[in-house]
Amino acid sequence: MKLNKIIAASALILVVAACGNNKTDRALSGGAIGAGVGGVGSALLGGNPVTGALVGGAVGAGTGALTKQKDIDLGTPAWKR
């Protein structure tokens, strides 16, 4: 059961894994990727997945907001395709 949740979370991360063309898109996608990685990583290490997702999401959103398109460009976000 736990493995199914991890696989589902990983698939969701891949769907939203695009940086975007503006600061808002990068913050949103960075937050989503960070939350997924933080939650899954925390669960695998025996921690609280919710705390991991919150911390990962905050770090990811901050990183996404502070980067420029020329720094990291993974294309058009999934929600704009």
Structure tokens given for 16: 């939203």
The 10s digit of each residue's pLDDT in 31-73 is 988 998 999 889 888 999 999 999 999 998 998 888 887 776 6
pLDDT of residue 1: 57
pLDDT of residue 48: 92
Confidence category of residue 25, pLDDT binned at 50, 70, 90: confident
The CA–CA distances, whole Å, from 58 to 4, 9, 36, 62 equal 25, 17, 11, 6
Among 8-12, 44-48, 66-70, 74-78, the range scoring the smallest mean pLDDT is 8-12
Q: What is the domain partition of the chain in residue ranges? A: 2-68
Residue type, 12: L
The CA–CA distances, whole Å, from 71 to 44, 48, 66 equal 30, 32, 10
Please tell me the distance from the alpha carbon of residue 73 to that of residue 12, in angstroms, as a whole number.
Answer: 19
Structure tokens given for 35: 């939350």
